[in-house]
Structure 1
Amino acid sequence: GRWCRGLWALPPRAATAAASPSPPTGGSPGSGALNPFDRRLKRKQKNWAALQAEPAKCDYLREEVGGRIADRVFDITRTFPLALDVGSGRGYIAQHLTKETVGKLVQVDIAENALKNATESEIPTVRVVADEEFLPFKEDTFDLVVSSLSLHWVNDLPKAFREIHHVLKPDGVFVGAMFGGDTLYELRCSLQLAELEREGGFSPHVSPFTAVADLGHLLSRAGFNTLTVDTDEIQVNYPGLFEVMEDLQGMGESNCSWNRKPLLHRETMLAAAAIYQEMYGNSDGSVPATFQIYYMIGWKYHESQAKPAQRGSATVSFGDLAKIEGLLKKGKK
């Protein structure tokens, strides 16, 4: 539509990204130290998941977290004429938002099939295939940026946060959610123990996740202020390890680390399933899978925002405050 013509950034930095939804990641497993994830493979996995006969069957986690992001947006008592959803997938946040809160929405994802199969929303929406690390929009464009459960696959998270900060208007807000470090610890431990037992060593089968202690620091370095970071856990029960892995594949959440092991032996998988059941199994025979979620809210600076008072500007000393407290205690008696 006409309203999105002025969004696009002209610098080469973003123009390249707009042309190529999956920019170079170093190209080979040898570059994994700086680029731990194969972004082309992640795009392929997400595209495959979006084309399944019932893509919504494995969307329960994304829909739940999308709803919790929308709740945080509703808690901010203002309207947002133009919003951006980074790593939108099939629109898990948009379906919970209302046109009274968000006027227009741009959805960005690396997987074109996810965008083509997006759920309908009452908000006027434009869908753009682009990478989260290379947002092809002008500076100071959006009143609100949201992102749910996609940034844990980004190779350069500090750069992704800087890109989000760049496209936000001053006094704009970013509301996001990421998987945290304890996500799928049951699966990770079971696979590692089974490999040690059967093969004498183990490879990473679950993606590395950001620690919550680092998250606030990364957002602050990207330029965000008035930060809020909190954590939550969602536990889902499955019949067994194989069902956990099947649903992860259906979510497009299969591992795409360069150093992943291409195949797991059948005996190792059966051993891992038995260890999972033995160590973590519920009394009804099911097994739990824990998903730790980090929620973050950060604002782009604007001079109208409240500022902390200058050092030394206090008009009451701590000594006087102590006296007041003593008088209050006497008054209560």
Structure 2
Amino acid sequence: MLAKALPFLRTQPALRTGPLHTASLAWTIAALRPSCRLMSSVASAPSTQMVFDRSVKKLQRDRSAVAKDARTVDYLKDEVAARVVDRLLDIKRNYKSIVDLGSGAGHIVKHLESDMTEEVIMTDMSEKLLYRDQDLDAEREVTIKRQIVDEELLPFEENSVECILSSLSLHWVNDLPGSLIQIRRSLKPDSVFIGAIFGEDTLYELRTSLQLAEIERVGGISPHVSPMATVRDIGSLLSRAGLVLTTVDIDEIVINYPSMFELIEDLQTMGESSALLARHHLGKDTLAAASAIYRSVYGDQDGAVPATFQVIYMIGWKEDPSQPKPLPRGSAEVSFKSLETLGASSCSKHSHADKTSSGSGEQQP
């Protein structure tokens, strides 16, 4: 089914919606979108809250590894992994070893070159997924080692890792602050962590369509898309974990599918199905209604439906005395007020010079 309509990737698209049939439908969508943001705060709650069933997530990844079309649906994770590696290229260093946390089958290693690192330690909680592409190791430019690791419990010693990368894995951990603290402890001083996770607006079309269908068919809503972090959450969590020189940016990838069902099928094959502890199953009539709403509200003229994946990229460094630091408060020798005065004076001089020049010109007969 997927081979008949390969998804088309586009970055940072404009929001596209189809005509709304009723005013009440438009009001309901507007009311549901803020609720998605409200749910996202669960992922960054101050205390550890069990949101995901990690055993179910491991089972989903195991099934993903042996799926018939497993490599066919690598398009999204390969694309995000390439953008993570692109950020690593901005750091002009050659690493002896890099840890890929939550590597899956090895999406990051596809984009690493020998002048960036000598070896990659791929880690994942699913042994089957970790070794899925072992037969392709000879095609990679770097040496590959594999280690079964739960992202919530890192086995690395303190100050032992040069660089940690993570692409589309940490959004499934229950204790994201704790995982970031463990990452910081594992890093050597002046070493970097670069990660990517799904943001709050990921799959908002699917979320809204399912909620509208449930309201219509069963008279209420239940969560079917995982809660996700916001950009503000990530910035705060990096600082809370003790990482410095932090950078957070956001990107969007929109993929077109023939219908909602192909999207759900690909998510299952990727191992990205919901692993919520409080998950509920939907009936066939509710799914059919959700698909119709999806196409009506968000569908293209050619019949395809878009799925938005919002990706948050984060960079943080382990503190080291050699790193640049901000000057103490009040140590500046020039105030902003004096700069404003200097700028006004400069503008006045230029204006006076222009008037003098125009006034001294000779008139043509």
Same-fold call, TM cutoff 0.5: yes
The answer for the alignment partner of 2:126 in structure 1 is 111
The answer for the alignment partner of 2:355 in structure 1 is none
- Specify the SS of the correspondent of 2:59: helix
Paired residue type of 1:217: S
Give matches, 1:184-263, under 5 Å.
184-261=203-280, 263=281
Shift of 1:319: 3.5
The answer for the alignment partner of 1:134 in structure 2 is 153
The answer for the alignment partner of 1:296 in structure 2 is 314
Give matches, 1:7-22, under 5 Å.
none
Name which of structure 1's ranges 305-314 and 152-161 shifts more when overlaid on structure 2.
305-314
The answer for the alignment partner of 1:272 in structure 2 is 290
Shift of 1:81: 1.7
Shift of 1:114: 1.1
Shift of 1:194: 0.8
User: % of aligned pairs identical?
Assistant: 49
1:49 paired with 2:64, answer yes
The answer for the alignment partner of 2:16 in structure 1 is none
1:88 paired with 2:109, answer no
The answer for the alignment partner of 1:306 in structure 2 is 324
The answer for the alignment partner of 2:187 in structure 1 is 168
How far, CA to CA, are the matches of 1:291 and 1:317 in structure 2? 44
Shift of 1:143: 1.4
How far, CA to CA, are the matches of 1:163 and 1:62 in structure 2? 24
Give CA deviations for 1:166-222 in whole Å, capped at 9, x if unaligned.
Answer: 111110011110000000011111111111111112221111111211110011000
Shift of 1:331: 4.6
Which of the numbers 149, 170, 183 marks the counterpart of 2:202?
Answer: 183
- Specify the SS of the correspondent of 2:324: coil
How far, CA to CA, are the matches of 1:289 and 1:323 in structure 2? 52
Q: Which runs of 5+ in 1 are unaligned?
A: 1-32
How far, CA to CA, are the matches of 1:73 and 1:164 in structure 2? 17
Give CA deviations for 1:61-89 in whole Å, capped at 9, x if unaligned.
Answer: 00000000010000111112221111000
Which of the numbers 276, 286, 295 marks the counterpart of 2:304?
Answer: 286
Which protein shows a greater Rg? Answer: 2
- Specify the SS of the correspondent of 1:295: strand
Paired residue type of 2:100: D
- Specify the SS of the correspondent of 2:166: strand
Whether contact under 8 Å (2:64, 2:270) holds in the other structure is yes
1:325 paired with 2:343, answer yes
Paired residue type of 2:305: V
Shift of 1:255: 0.5
Q: Which runs of 5+ in 2 are unaligned?
A: 1-47, 352-365
Give CA deviations for 1:245-282 in whole Å, capped at 9, x if unaligned.
Answer: 00000110011101001x21111111111111111111
Whether contact under 8 Å (2:69, 2:269) holds in the other structure is no
- Specify the SS of the correspondent of 1:56: helix
Instruction: Name the TM-score, length of structure 1 as normaliser.
Output: 0.88
Instruction: Name the TM-score, length of structure 2 as normaliser.
Output: 0.80
How far, CA to CA, are the matches of 2:98 and 2:349 in structure 1? 53
Paired residue type of 1:306: P
- Specify the SS of the correspondent of 1:139: coil
How far, CA to CA, are the matches of 1:95 and 1:332 in structure 2? 56
The answer for the alignment partner of 2:39 in structure 1 is none
Shift of 1:43: 0.4
Change in CA separation of 1:328 and 1:77 when aligned onto 2, cut-off 3 Å: farther
How far, CA to CA, are the matches of 1:68 and 1:243 in structure 2? 25
Paired residue type of 2:97: L
How far, CA to CA, are the matches of 1:242 and 1:319 in structure 2? 60
| Runs ≥4 residues deviating over 4 A | none
Q: Which has the higher contact order (CA 8 A, sep 6+)?
A: 2
How far, CA to CA, are the matches of 1:62 and 1:322 in structure 2? 49
Shift of 1:321: 1.8
Paired residue type of 1:64: E
RMSD of aligned alpha carbons: 1.3
